[in-house]
Amino acid sequence: MNTTSAVGKPPTWYWVVSWLAVLWMLFGVMAWVMDLMTDESGVAEFSEAQRQLYAARPQWLFVVYGVAIFSGLAGAIGLLLRKPWASMLFAVSLAAIIVQFGYTFLGMHAVQVLGAAEAIPFPLVILIIGVTLLWFANRSRKLGWIAP
């Protein structure tokens, strides 16, 4: 793969990362829709600790979850279109991630309810990917791969 390019023309790996970002966000959309569609029979299949957290989750937190996912998807599409607003949308997504998991850990006590091994790994991966996508969009702007 070409890792160096003239300013203005992104390298091949830029497109690979951008498409992976879209795919990642589409998985997030699927998870959000599945959560939205969860009914009592679905909740009955959760562990007792998961049911406890699900019941304690305020509706506004589900909305924040949607903001994180859909602004991230729009940001990923912005990368594909090489638009400067991709950075802003990834910043909104990251802020929503921080609010969502901050409340989940501090307000709902997810680590105490689920245990650290179950509560921490996936949110940590989501946070790292969110930070990385914001960095990538900002770096791409500085390199001229997306409009200033």
Domain spans of the chain, in order of start: 12-142
Residue ranges of the chain with pLDDT lower than 70?
1-7
Whole-prediction pTM value?
Answer: 0.91
pLDDT of 74: 98
Nearest-angstrom CA–CA distance, 106 and 59: 17
Which pLDDT score is estimated for 5?
A: 44
What local confidence, expressed as pLDDT, does residue 148 receive? 75
Report the SS3 class of residue 82: coil
pLDDT, position 93: 98
- What is the predicted pLDDT for the residue at 7? 52
